[in-house]
């Protein structure tokens, strides 16, 4: 197995600083001016208030670095724990690995309508394709998405300008055809005052959030307007290396001006219709539980892993962590009896159970890996690459 992932993301930051800042640029001074005393932690970074574009660029790059600095290591750990789970009495199988840090490209820094900095991040399919060409392994784990995604620092937000009015609005009372008006305190007011208060109730202002209210948002590459292009890049890489099996992440939901759920169904159907969907590609998602809801955290994947099963491995629900579990299953299926990619996928489906969720009034069926069934069937499989 080969794990392609972020293993030296610090190099990507170093290159970015070299390309975008003068030789005498001081990180320490910039952090101090932004109000950050410890840029090595998420909590420290959320104290940052950039004063200019240079500081905003430094912040965005460091947020990216912080998000992915342990990503590859964690993916490998999940895979090793899955190996132990399926064969506790055998030696843990560790994958080989290659870093995709060289594939990272950063676009122009932009700002949303209220001033939050946003940067477009691209993972180059050409670099990943070259890495795949250099590996002899037959199974490739890709706990990431090729193409573009967005990183936003939520520094500002819109809040009610008159919050006391939002708690209880003005009211009207009509008796004998005559309407009287009262404000949110119960005082009598004129119709004009009533209309003015009603208008002010929905009036907002942009406020600087306190550090504990700030957040970092990654808009998934399969949840925006680049879904088809991003997915196409993945199918092109997999199609060029038909001798290998690719197991790739299907995306994670993001709260950014509403819930954004990754959805590759339409893009996938289009690629399948065009004959561009390769047999040697498996997309993985995870099943989430939240406030009584149980269902897919993304749409269009071939197989899902329950977040409770990931938690038993020591990790939270995320497609990045679900993917190496399926990669380990595929490795064992190929070593056991699956001679073709088609057979491997059919045998993978045999290890799943049917599940369903609701998208509005529409029922959505999906396949959920049955961990106990997989343990029983795969426990004695041979080791392979």
192 and 321, same structural domain?
no
pLDDT, position 380: 59
Q: How buried is residue 9: exposed, middle or buried, by Cβ count under 10 Å (0-12/13-18/19+)?
A: buried
With respect to residue 383, please indicate whether it lies within any of the assigned structural domains.
Answer: no
219 and 189, same structural domain?
no
Average pLDDT of the segment spanning 178-184: 89
With respect to residue 384, please indicate whether it lies within any of the assigned structural domains.
Answer: no
227 and 176, same structural domain?
no
Both tokens assigned to 83:
């190996």
DSSP assignment of 221-276, as one string?
TTSSTTHHHHHHHHHHHHHHTTTSEEEEE----EESSSEE--B-HHHHHHHHHTT-
Is residue 257 very low, low, confident or very high in pLDDT (cuts 50, 70, 90)?
A: low
273 and 224, same structural domain?
yes
With respect to residue 9, please indicate whether it lies within any of the assigned structural domains.
Answer: yes
pLDDT at 264 over 60: yes
The boundaries of the domain holding residue 7 are 2-157+210-378
Average pLDDT of the segment spanning 85-114: 91
Instruction: Say how many domains are in the chain.
Output: 2
Contact 147, 221 (CB under 8 A): yes
122 and 166, same structural domain?
no
Neighbours of 169 (CB within 10 A): 14
* pTM score of the predicted model: 0.88
Is residue 383 very low, low, confident or very high in pLDDT (cuts 50, 70, 90)?
A: very low
Is residue 384 very low, low, confident or very high in pLDDT (cuts 50, 70, 90)?
A: very low
> Which tens digits make up the pLDDT trace of 58-97?
999 999 999 999 999 999 999 999 999 998 888 888 899 9
191 and 265, same structural domain?
no
Last residue of a domain, one of 178, 202, 226: 202
186 and 239, same structural domain?
no
Helix (H, G, I), strand (E, B) or coil at 215: strand
pLDDT, position 345: 96
pLDDT, position 278: 97
> Which tens digits make up the pLDDT trace of 311-327?
999 999 999 999 999 99
With respect to residue 385, please indicate whether it lies within any of the assigned structural domains.
Answer: no
pLDDT, position 353: 96
127 and 43, same structural domain?
yes
């Amino acid at each position: 197995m080969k794990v392609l992932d972020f293993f030296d993301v610090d190099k990507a930051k170093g290159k970015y600083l070299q390309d975008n800042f003068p030789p005498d640029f001081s990180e320490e001074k910039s952090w101090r001016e932004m109000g950050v005393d410890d840029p090595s932690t998420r909590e420290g970074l959320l104290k940052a208030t950039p004063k200019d574009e240079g500081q905003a660029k430094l912040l965005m790059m460091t947020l990216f670095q912080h998000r992915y600095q342990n990503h590859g290591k964690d993916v490998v750990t999940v895979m090793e724990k899955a190996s132990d789970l399926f064969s506790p009495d055998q030696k843990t199988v560790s994958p080989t690995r290659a870093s995709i840090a060289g594939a990272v490209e950063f676009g122009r820094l932009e700002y949303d309508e209220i001033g939050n900095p946003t940067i477009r991040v691209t993972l180059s399919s050409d670099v990943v394709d070259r890495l795949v060409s250099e590996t002899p392994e037959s199974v490739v784990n890709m706990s990431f998405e090729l193409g573009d995604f967005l990183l936003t620092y939520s520094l500002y937000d819109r809040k009610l300008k008159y919050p006391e009015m939002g708690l209880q609005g003005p009211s009207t009372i009509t008796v004998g055809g005559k309407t009287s008006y009262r404000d949110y305190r119960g005082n009598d007011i004129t119709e004009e005052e009533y209309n003015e208060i009603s208008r002010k109730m929905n009036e907002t202002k942009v406020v600087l959030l306190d550090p504990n209210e700030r957040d970092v948002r990654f808009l998934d590459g399969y949840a925006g307007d680049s879904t088809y292009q991003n997915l196409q890049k993945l199918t092109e890489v997999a199609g060029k290396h038909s001798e290998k099996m690719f197991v790739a992440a299907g995306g994670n939901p993001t709260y950014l001006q509403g819930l954004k759920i990754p959805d590759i169904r339409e893009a996938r159907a289009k690629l399948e219709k065009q004959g561009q969907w390769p047999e040697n590609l498996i997309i993985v998602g995870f099943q989430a539980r939240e406030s009584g809801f149980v269902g897919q955290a993304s749409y269009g994947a071939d197989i899902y892993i329950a977040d409770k099963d990931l938690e038993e491995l020591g990790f939270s629900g995320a497609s990045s962590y679900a993917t190496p579990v399926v990669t380990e299953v595929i490795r064992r299926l190929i070593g056991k009896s699956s001679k073709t990619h088609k057979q491997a996928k059919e045998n993978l489906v045999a290890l799943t159970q049917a599940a369903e969720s609701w998208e509005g009034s529409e029922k959505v069926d999906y396949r959920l890996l049955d961990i106990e069934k997989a343990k029983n069937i795969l426990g004695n499989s041979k080791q392979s690459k």
